[in-house]
Structures are given as structure tokens and as C-alpha cells.
DNA sequence: CCTTGACTTGACTGACCGGTCTAATACAAT
DNA sequence: ATTGTATTAGACCGGTCAGTCAAGTCAAGG
């Protein structure tokens, strides 16, 4: 029970790290097996295909994300607008830590996979889209609170939340291309300037 | 002369389309050769490696981009801030046209390749970074003009230009993940709300 | 003690990968 | 007509890909 779970989760952790640091196509099952010291057959006992593995990796990362990074950054004890700064900081330190260890900024696993796989795998696209939708909901909830508290003038919180998520992903994309986490720190705070008015 | 150029440019055009619509790793040289009706040997006569082909594709797209899309969108006869709206519209129609034909939004070739290749190929990363730098310059030039014309209060035009580029890439990323070009139209105009103040 | 079934092992498959090589061909200059 | 060069043709290379499979190991349950 513990051994079986261990094998599966070892595969999952390895795959997550490798997909994140490289790409889906560039990482082979054989390599994942070697690095997690598992045989091919064992791999296929737990995951019917490479696609299923990727789907599991996305779920796994989304779970950790929701319970760690996002839960802290969107801490409801903080004033709504400060949460955005916290989130930017969290993203920065995360990427910086990874860059310091690996030498390269891995960026956002979801963004990476989304651009690589959206045109090739509808199931994966839909799953990544759902992850983004949940992230947007976090932003929207924060914006709704800010508006209710009078910290922000009334706006289209749904559209603005989506805009903020897009901006965050864009910043990480650019930072990864520059291989420089500082970009997140420089551009991040401007996320609070984004605004989409209510249409009527 | 015309025939040789034709073979090379046929390879280039096919590769560009395929890399854009799928990904670098997913498209094989064999497939590119088949689709452009060229033999392997001819391919390697013109391009020493797949990496060189990708580099040439990036240059080719950047050239077309600078002369077409960007030149029109950043038309200096337009008031500076209107150029931003033009650019968003141009991005929308481009993606929509591709989505209508292919059924899927290809997104931005540069953004796609940047996320896929940045951690794997330093040469490609640097080239894509340079393309982004030039795009940022276009934004900065526009912002400088807007500030000079009094249409915008003084700001850190360099940082804001980078923020706008990040936002644009982020929008396209999200639109691609949703497979819905309309996202560009909804989120795009908010690019004008981005602002990074001068630090002092 | 025997069976069951989850798990592991590692050899194996056929397809495809990027890239090489030699020979044939087209064509321009002499 | 001949030679040199640019281009094309396509067989071929070793390696890797995702995935399969038959033969086990081993612990729990009857």
C-alpha cells in the first residue's frame, strides 16, 4: 500500500519536475522511469499512457498550487489589494528559487503546457483551461471584495480578473524568455493598474 | 536561382506554418519535407540542422511581422494611443482568421517557441528574447510619443512598454487555451490602463 | 497450503527521430 | 562539348519513441 503509492507518487513527482523544467514532448517515459527508479512495466501499471500521466501531473500541481501558493497569496485576512502584491512576490520567489537551483527559469507549468499542447490535445487543453478558470475566480473574488470595501471603483471584476491572470502569465513568459526572475518584480506591481469597466 | 530560392522558401513557409500551429518538437523534418515536396537531401542542403531551420523561421516571421502587422499597427500617422487599439484589432483578426481555417488558435509563434525552447536551447532563447526586445521598442516609442503629446502623464515608458508586451502575450496565451479569439477583443483594450511610474 | 491479484521486471515491437552519404541530375561558364 | 558547381534524390544510420507482453515476485485471505 505504502510501496505502491510510493512508486506512483515518485513517478508523478519526477514527471512534474521534468515537464515543468523542459517540456512534454522533450521528456520521454524511459527517462522518467530511470530518474524515478521504476521499470517501464510498473509505469504502465499506474498510468495507461503518457497523456494520462500529464493529466495527473496537472491535477497534482493544481492541487498543490491551490493549497499552497494560491491559498497563502489570496489570504483573506489581508486587505484585498495587498493580496495581489503578495501573489506577485510569491511568484517571484518561487521562480527565483528554481532559477538559482536549475540555472533556468521554468516559468509556469500550466502556461508552458497550454502553449505546447492546446492545439494538439483537446483533453489537456480543456483541463488547463479549467485550471485557469479557477485561478481567475481567485482574482475575481479578491476584486469583488476590494470593490465592496470601497478600495476600488466599480468595474467588470470578471473581465478584469481574467486580464490580471493574462498579465501574470505574460510576465512569467517574458521573464522566462529573458531567463531573469527580476522581470516579475519590475512588472508585477502594475497588475493593480489593470481595469476593465462594466459595459452597459 | 528562382528554383533554388523556391525550394528553400517553400521549406521555410511550411516549417513556419507547422511550428506555429503545433510545436517545434512535434513537427519532424520528414513531415516538413513531405508537405513542401522536397527530399531530405535537399532540406539538409539548405539547412544544416533543425535548429537552424527554427532560427530561420523566427527571422522570417520577425521580418514579416515588422513589415506587416507591426508596421501597420504602429502607423505613425495615427494618434499614439489609437495605435494600441489598432494593434489589438490586428492581433484579433489574425488569430480569428487562423482559427476559422484551422479550427484552432495557433497563438503567437514567438511566445509558443519561447515557452517550449527557452530552457532547452540558449541560442533560440536569445533570438526570441531579441524579437521581444524589438517589439517592446515599438511600444516604448509609441508611449514616448503619447507622453510628449500630453495624451499620457509622464511614466516609466520602458517598463510600461514591457508590461504591455507581457500583457499582449498573456492575452494570446489565455485565448489560445480557451481556443477563443474573442478573449483578445475583450481583454485587449485594457492594455491602455497599464502604467508603471518612474522610480526615483 | 493454495489461490488470487496487485505489483515488478526487462526484453521486445514497429514506427519514427534527426542526420549522413553517395550518386544522379540540372545548368552555367568555358 | 566539357567541366565544375549547385541542387536533388533517396537509401541508410544508430538511437529513441510510446507502448506491449509474458514471466515472474510477494503478501493477504481463505
The complex's ipTM works out to 0.94
pLDDT of res. A86: 93
Nearest C-alpha of chain B: how many angstroms from A193? 6
CA of A4 vs chain B CAs: smallest distance (Å): 33
Q: Which residue of B has its CA nearest to A103?
A: B119
Low-confidence residues in chain A, pLDDT < 70:
1-4
Residue A94 shares a structural domain with residue A30:
no
Residue A59 lies in a domain: no
Residues of B in contact with A105 (CB under 8 A): 118-119
Contact B135, B70 (CB under 8 A): yes
d(CA A35, CA A29): 10
Residues B116 and B174 in one domain: yes
Dihedral sign of CA atoms A123, A168, B115, B174 in order: positive
Whether residues A45 and A73 share a domain: the answer is no
CA distance B63 to A57: 38
Is residue B2, in this structure, part of any structural domain at all? yes
For residue B164, CA distances in Å to A169, B150, B154, B190 come to 12, 19, 16, 10
B40's grid cell: 531530405
Give me the domain span that covers residue B107. 68-193
**CATH classification at residue B2:** 1.10.10.60
Q: Alpha carbon B52 to chain centroid distance? A: 18
Which residues in chain B come in under a pLDDT of 50? 1-4
A126 and A164 share a domain? yes
User: Are A170 and B171 spatial neighbours (Cβ–Cβ below 8 Å)?
Assistant: yes
Is residue B61 a part of any domain in this protein?
no
Chain B, window 104-123: residues with a beta carbon less than 8 angstroms from a chain A beta carbon: 104-107, 111-112, 114-116, 118-120
What is the phi/psi pair of residue B143, to 5°? -65, -40
User: Measured between CB atoms, does A94 come within 8 Å of chain B?
Assistant: no
CB pairs under 8 A between A and B: 162
How far from chain centre, in Å, is Cα A142?
18
User: Which nucleotide is at minimal CA–C1' distance from B52?
Assistant: C18
Number of domains, chain B = 2
Residues A163, A95 share a domain: yes
Predicted pLDDT at B67: 85
Question: Are A77 and A38 part of one and the same domain?
Answer: no
Say yes or no: Cβ of A50 under 7 A from any atom of strand D: yes
- Across chain A, the runs of DSSP E, i.e. the strands, are none
Protein residue closest via CA to C1' of D22? A41
Residue numbers in A 85-104, CB below 7 Å of strand D:
none
pLDDT score for B200: 76
Q: Do residues B20 and B64 make contact, with C-beta atoms less than 8 angstroms apart?
A: no
**In this structure, what CATH number is given to the domain that contains residue B182?**
1.10.357.10
- Residue B99 and residue B9 in one domain: no
Closest protein CA to C1' of nucleotide D28, residue: A1
Specify whether A80 is located in the same domain as A155: yes
The predicted pLDDT at position B3 comes to 43
Amino acid at each position: 500500500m505504502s510501496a505502491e503509492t510510493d512508486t506512483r507518487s515518485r513517478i508523478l513527482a519526477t514527471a512534474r519536475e521534468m515537464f515543468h523544467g523542459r517540456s512534454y514532448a522533450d521528456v520521454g517515459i524511459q527517462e522518467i522511469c530511470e530518474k524515478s527508479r521504476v521499470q517501464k512495466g510498473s509505469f504502465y501499471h499506474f498510468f495507461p499512457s503518457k497523456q494520462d500521466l500529464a493529466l495527473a501531473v496537472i491535477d497534482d500541481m493544481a492541487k498543490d498550487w491551490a493549497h499552497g501558493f494560491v491559498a497563502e497569496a489570496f489570504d483573506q485576512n489581508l486587505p484585498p489589494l495587498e493580496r495581489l502584491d503578495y501573489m506577485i512576490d510569491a511568484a517571484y520567489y518561487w521562480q527565483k528559487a528554481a532559477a538559482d537551483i536549475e540555472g533556468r527559469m521554468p516559468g509556469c507549468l500550466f502556461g508552458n503546457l497550454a502553449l505546447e499542447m492546446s492545439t494538439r490535445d483537446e483533453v489537456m487543453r480543456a483541463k488547463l483551461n479549467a485550471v485557469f478558470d479557477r485561478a481567475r475566480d481567485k482574482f475575481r473574488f479578491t476584486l469583488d471584495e476590494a470593490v465592496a470595501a470601497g478600495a476600488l471603483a466599480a468595474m467588470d471584476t470578471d473581465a478584469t480578473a481574467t486580464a490580471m491572470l493574462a498579465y501574470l502569465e505574460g510576465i512569467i513568459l517574458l521573464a522566462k524568455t529573458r531567463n531573469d526572475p527580476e522581470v516579475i518584480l519590475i512588472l508585477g506591481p502594475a497588475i493593480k493598474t489593470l481595469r476593465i469597466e462594466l459595459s452597459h
